[in-house]
Structure 1
Amino acid sequence: MSADPLLQPFQLKHLTLRNRLMITSHEPAYPEDGMPKDRYRAYHVERAKAGIALTMTAGSASVARDSPPAFNNILAWKDEVVAWMKQLVDECHDHGSAVMIQLTHLGRRTRWDVGDWLPVVSASPEREPAHRAFPKRIEDWDIARIIEDYADAAERMQAAGLDGIELESYGHLMDSFWSPLTNDLDGPYGADSLDNRMRFSFDVLRAIRKRVGDEFIVGIRYVGDEMLAGGIAKPEGMEISRRLKDSGLVDFLNVIRGHIETDAALTNVIPVQGMASAPHLDFAGEIRAETKFPTFHAAKIQDVATARHAVASGKLDMVGMTRAHMADPHIVAKIMRGEEDRIRPCVGANYCLDRIYQGGMALCLHNPSTGRELEQPHEIEKADTPRRFVIVGAGPAGLEAARVAASRGHEVIVHEAANDPGGQVRLTAQTPRRSEMIQLIQWRFEECEKLGVTFRFNSFADAATVMDENPDVVIVATGGIAHTEILPQGNDLVVSAWDILSGDVQSGSNVLIYDDAGDQAALQAAEKIASTGAKVEIMTRDRVFSPEVMGMTLTPAMRALQPLDVTFTVTWKLESVAREGNGLKATIGTDYSGVTRDRLVDQVVVNHGTEPLEDLYFDLRESSRNLGEVDYDAMIAGAPQQVSRQPDAAFQLFRIGDAVAARNTHAAIYDALRLVRTL
């Protein structure tokens, strides 16, 4: 047996977990009609096959109709969930993984104008800022029916064959009773004592035990310290932990620290890129030391070394590496094979959660197969016939294309004009709080080197250079260049966000940033400029600033910008720039009226996406077999590209990423994966 602390089994009641790594409850928003169907099942099964000990499904599975999902959660109040969960459980069990589910009533953390349009309920009428609903103060008959709803949902999960359940008590209904900040009730559930504030939780747990018996595993993911004035403080959190253990009603504690009613607060609980790793691990360890009870925890534990330390030092019994397993579902398998250096790292970009808040399903910036296990399997199949690939550009798209092609057994040559790989990601990583982004490049480059890819750096490849390589397939991944030619007058007087980030242009002292892309680049440029002491105004024609940057990802940026002289102006757009004395006059207008105003500044920065660097593609296009055409139906279906407009031509030609159009890093990597895996 391995001596690795992470590979030691853990006995939880009657259940033997095969190692110490788990995926904590989370909702990737994959359900269909509120059910965990094929996509959902494939996501969890992939991680079970790779060796995870415990996979927890369904962050915030809803137990009641008046707990409508905030984003496409599993509906545990429906009987039909049993059959779907049973399929998922059976298949994960076949691969040796235990399965649990998190059950909750969302309380005020949802909206009244979704689902059945029922009132939101909580232990006080205090609104939750993030979801904006004003709740009804819960009544005794609400409490009685919701207790039964919890018990019904637990019974369904037992019937589906799950190994256990977990109740959620942070930011939802259950802990709204616990916290003095959200409980203004009188009577037996009121705020005047901890006994009363915890009464609802114990009533729920007793009702669940009555249904499922003493052998079924029941745990709780709960807040042990709200870190909020007037809320549950650490000493009371310790007492709550002791009471949960001593109740005999729960089998494990899954520890959270913080509060989640705003995006900024949630980001402290679930840290993102630019924030400290494992910030609450020591706190969870204190609870384990105090209670001597099975303790689980997850919060930006993204690397194996930290996870190993958490177990070896006795801080945790089970370590949650949830986002890490979105980036690489095969972490356990790679540890067991002695290939930790090949684990695809989570870079904390938070694209997974950002996508959910944009109304989509969770996707990983780094791994386009996550959530697409059915269409884009994580394992790359070998090609029947090796071919010679020439790829131009070593940004994320080009490197992914090279990695996938080499994994299929092809010979791969990459030309890159710069002396290092990375493309736009190198600019992004210039900002210290986004430096983790460079791991997107490092991992792919190292994988390519292991797979024997040939790199030709400082090679500004033209058509002749490419043709001299005698390619069978050419992939143009040249990316784009900052697009600033957007004004009827004054384009020559503006600079791009890239100019600022690269250091090619020195920043001014009074700067207008016109952000018409709404992404990270404008925020990063503002941070670099304002850190010199300059005055910065970020302006957008949108009704909100940075619309492509979701709330949690925005948090580190705002924490960097708000102490500086930075202001945000919405609903105004840049119309022209002209010289005025030693400065610039920026004329601004609006889409809502004919009003214009002037700004006198000494620098104007434009962030307007990129224009494709497409000359090489068009120089090669007429010589290619497919004339650059992509069969989209075949690409989507995972079938080979067989377009042949000039059958006698020697090579196929494709372009990917920003060489096609300005999009994002995930789109570039996904282009490469789904195109090249069939070539």
Structure 2
Amino acid sequence: MIRDVLLQPYQLKHLTLKNRIMTTSHEPAYPEDGMPKERYRAYHEIRAKAGVAMTMTAGSATVSRDSPPVFNNILAYKDEVVRWMADLTDACHAHGCAVMIQLTHLGRRTGWNKGDWLPSVSSSHYREPAHRAFAKKMEDHDIERIVSDYADAAERMKAAGLDGIELQAYGHLIDQFWSPLTNTMDAPYGGSLDNRLRFGFMVLDAIRDRVGTDFILGVRYTADEVEKGGITEEDGLEIARRLRDSGQVDFLNVIRGRIHTDPAMTDVIPVQGMKSAPHLDFAGRVRAEIGMPTFHASRIPDVATARHSVASGLLDMVGMTRAHMADPMIVSKIQAGREDDIRPCVGATYCLDRIYQAGEALCIHNPATGRELSMPHVITAAKSRRRAVIVGAGPGGLEAARVAAERGHDVTVLEAASEPGGQVRLAAQSRRRAEMIGIIDWRMAQCAARDVRFQFNTFADAGDLKAFSPDIVVIATGGLPETTILETGNDLAVSAWDILSGDVHPGENVLIYDDAGGHPALMAAEIIAESGSRVEIMTRDRSFAPEIMGMNLVPYMRALQKTGALFTVTRTLKSLVRSGNQLEAAIGTDYSDLVEKRMYDQVIVNQGTLPLDDLYFELKPLSRNLGAVDHDALVANSGDMFPLVNPKADFDLYRIGDAVSSRNIHAAVYDALRLGLRW
């Protein structure tokens, strides 16, 4: 019998890792008051319980007061962190999972106007574009203090019982010294490679002196900045040799690229539509030439790629970090021979982008991630079997069907279209976003395994539902585009959906008025631009597409900028009138009474969706709960969530997702999960 290479143990110094799968350092922004408290512990513990060999916490924990978090990072410079990290470590160790933490000083990659309002510091005065702070060029006493801060933080982590630490040396302060692009210091800290490396090696020496030789110490570093004037491949390999020869470093975690702008970071951490594992072979080259234990993570979303990375000798430990946000049970499913059951990471990168948008990482289609204290990753059966009818087979409806079936209920799904998917299927028609269909395919497979019945091409009415004698009815009918937002001329506009579906062909001179700020407008713009037409994207907001954060915006900009697409902000589309074969648009602004006229041959309006809720309101007076949900009980996940106000009725009624209001995929599946747990 050939044992799966991913399940073979790995010896890292004195530490035996039980398999080859790890989650690399990342910050889901769950700390409270800068501490990794219960929510943070539960997030890592579920992955440990499911079998991951090592979990790396923080991305990154900050070691100094003048390195305030750019989002909700762990404050490793506070003594109280020891207690909380010890709780997390003990919880993971109980499941045989090693625990490390990534420590850093952000340098210029932060702001001065937060935390204690101390100046940002770096090896130059250069501003980082992403975080916009002009840094103070460091003095000798800054260097001495920060080196000591690193050692103090490392000592705290050893006291908390962690197995080791990793230093962040890409984009942050250590790398800012190492890179010629960000180091303008004089000798002995600037100029030659020897001088530029000096600060980082002072940190390594100070840490090792403090924690001893029996504590694991690694470095996650960029071995090639892929930018003229920066760290080259040859430089990166030389840095690795020096790290190895120093005797202070136990492993390398290899990165390729820079993270100083959104496009640069997206090349380091690719999103959907970009190549999977783009830097894997490069990491393998570092391992082959240096011979040190080598870790790596960069869009390794599936078990096959992970297995290849270890079997081919490219890596010793493979990081599947976003994949574990989609499904923390990956290792246990591999062990059980259930790889087909793994919930796929579809590369949407809602997890990372949401940190900057709303201050916490969430998976686009696993609503239990980050909510481990209230939402289960494994659903248990209900006490009694009930009949459930779900109307709509979009992501919310399919999640409702999956959850109800796992609860042991008899489930039927009615769908008006010929295929499942709803708006997700529309989005997946884009080559770049084709992976989104994994959200649907996984749920269809889960439903098939639990004998959920589907009736497609079925536009259900109240009579259809009564024929099933249901105990539970879920309205997940979604919505249709809202286009009636103009003062006059609404009938002359088309929706972004019309372009995405191919029902309407692009014009030659097209205006997209985007008053929602999500993906549909920019997806339509890509189609129009690729057809060779001129496209202008207009919004009343002060920035376009505000619902699309930096990493997901990058592919759109790369596609649209090369076609000459025009972006217009702080303007409102007020009305349309036909003028021959053209459309005359009245363009106003919220800032004044200014109105001007412009001519287009096609105008697209994107204003979210309006709920398809006729069936819900038809059924509402016939239901036991009259469609009501107790919000206090819903949020607390306890108590009587569904009030009985019509006891003569036969079924409870719920509506979810865009059938309630125009939101997103995560909202729809979260609606379905937390309601379904109480059925």
- TM-score category, normalised to shorter length: over 0.9
Alignment TM-score, normalising by the size of structure 1: 0.99
> 2:527, 2:509 → 1: CA distance?
13
Q: Does 2:556 correspond to 1:557?
A: yes
In the other structure, the counterpart of 1:248 is 247
> 1:60, 1:398 → 2: CA distance?
37
Deviation track 1:430-473 (CA, whole Å, cap 9, x = no partner) reads: 11111110100000011000011000111111111011111001
In the other structure, the counterpart of 1:140 is 140
> 1:607, 1:427 → 2: CA distance?
15
Q: Report the AA paired with residue 556 of structure 2.
A: A
1:122-141 map, 5 Å: 122-141=122-141
- Does structure 1 conserve the Cα–Cα contact (< 8 Å) formed by 2:495 and 2:605? yes
> 1:614, 1:517 → 2: CA distance?
20
- Does structure 2 conserve the Cα–Cα contact (< 8 Å) formed by 1:71 and 1:359? no
Pairwise CA distance, 1:506: 1.3
1:404-415 map, 5 Å: 404-415=403-414
Deviation track 1:47-86 (CA, whole Å, cap 9, x = no partner) reads: 0000000000011100000000000100000000000000
Q: Report the AA paired with residue 40 of structure 1.
A: Y
Q: Report the AA paired with residue 189 of structure 1.
A: Y
In the other structure, the counterpart of 2:532 is 533
> 2:476, 2:153 → 1: CA distance?
50
Q: Does 2:377 correspond to 1:378?
A: yes
> 1:143, 1:49 → 2: CA distance?
41
Pairwise CA distance, 1:566: 0.9
> 2:201, 2:322 → 1: CA distance?
31
Q: Does 2:34 correspond to 1:40?
A: no
- Does structure 2 conserve the Cα–Cα contact (< 8 Å) formed by 1:2 and 1:8? no
Deviation track 1:360-403 (CA, whole Å, cap 9, x = no partner) reads: 21000010000000010111111001100000000000000000
In the other structure, the counterpart of 1:418 is 417
Deviation track 1:572-599 (CA, whole Å, cap 9, x = no partner) reads: 0100000001110011100000001111
In the other structure, the counterpart of 1:592 is 591
Pairwise CA distance, 1:561: 1.0
In the other structure, the counterpart of 2:655 is 655
1:465-504 map, 5 Å: 465-504=464-503
In the other structure, the counterpart of 1:91 is 91
In the other structure, the counterpart of 1:644 is 644
> 1:68, 1:641 → 2: CA distance?
41
Q: Report the AA paired with residue 455 of structure 2.
A: R
Pairwise CA distance, 1:419: 1.0
In the other structure, the counterpart of 1:315 is 314
1:501-516 map, 5 Å: 501-516=500-515
In the other structure, the counterpart of 2:541 is 542
In the other structure, the counterpart of 1:206 is 205
SS at match of 2:510: strand
Aligned residues: 678
Pairwise CA distance, 1:633: 1.4
In the other structure, the counterpart of 1:278 is 277
Q: Report the AA paired with residue 658 of structure 2.
A: D
In the other structure, the counterpart of 1:575 is 574
- Does structure 1 conserve the Cα–Cα contact (< 8 Å) formed by 2:224 and 2:233? yes
Pairwise CA distance, 1:641: 3.0
Q: Report the AA paired with residue 352 of structure 2.
A: L
Deviation track 1:105-152 (CA, whole Å, cap 9, x = no partner) reads: 000000000000001111111110000000011100000000000000
In the other structure, the counterpart of 1:118 is 118
- Does structure 2 conserve the Cα–Cα contact (< 8 Å) formed by 1:406 and 1:451? yes
Pairwise CA distance, 1:558: 0.8
Q: Report the AA paired with residue 97 of structure 2.
A: S
Pairwise CA distance, 1:507: 1.2
- Does structure 2 conserve the Cα–Cα contact (< 8 Å) formed by 1:415 and 1:456? yes
Alignment TM-score, normalising by the size of structure 2: 0.99
- Does structure 2 conserve the Cα–Cα contact (< 8 Å) formed by 1:534 and 1:565? no
Q: Does 2:600 correspond to 1:601?
A: yes
Deviation track 1:22-67 (CA, whole Å, cap 9, x = no partner) reads: 0000000000000000000000000000000000001110000000
In the other structure, the counterpart of 1:610 is 609
Note the residue ranges of structure 1 that are not aligned, 5 or more in a row: none
> 1:233, 1:195 → 2: CA distance?
15
Moved more, 355-364 or 162-171: 355-364
In the other structure, the counterpart of 1:669 is 669
1:439-454 map, 5 Å: 439-454=438-453
- Does structure 2 conserve the Cα–Cα contact (< 8 Å) formed by 1:389 and 1:411? yes
SS at match of 2:223: strand
Q: Report the AA paired with residue 207 of structure 1.
A: A
- Does structure 2 conserve the Cα–Cα contact (< 8 Å) formed by 1:123 and 1:176? yes
> 1:115, 1:126 → 2: CA distance?
21
In the other structure, the counterpart of 1:5 is 5
Q: Report the AA paired with residue 155 of structure 1.
A: E
Q: Report the AA paired with residue 115 of structure 1.
A: G
Q: Does 2:264 correspond to 1:268?
A: no
Q: Report the AA paired with residue 563 of structure 2.
A: L
Deviation track 1:172-229 (CA, whole Å, cap 9, x = no partner) reads: 11011111111111121112x1111111111111110111001100000001000011
Pairwise CA distance, 1:2: 6.0
SS at match of 1:225: coil
> 2:543, 2:122 → 1: CA distance?
30
Deviation track 1:475-513 (CA, whole Å, cap 9, x = no partner) reads: 000000000011120000000000000011111000000
In the other structure, the counterpart of 1:624 is 623
SS at match of 2:109: coil
> 2:615, 2:324 → 1: CA distance?
38
In the other structure, the counterpart of 2:364 is 365
- Does structure 2 conserve the Cα–Cα contact (< 8 Å) formed by 1:108 and 1:122? yes
SS at match of 1:166: strand
> 1:468, 1:533 → 2: CA distance?
52
- Does structure 1 conserve the Cα–Cα contact (< 8 Å) formed by 2:169 and 2:175? yes
In the other structure, the counterpart of 1:158 is 158
Q: Report the AA paired with residue 604 of structure 1.
A: V
Runs of 4+ in 1 over 4 A off after TM superposition: none
Q: Report the AA paired with residue 221 of structure 1.
A: R
In the other structure, the counterpart of 1:337 is 336
> 1:635, 1:383 → 2: CA distance?
17
Pairwise CA distance, 1:673: 0.3
Q: Does 2:294 correspond to 1:295?
A: yes
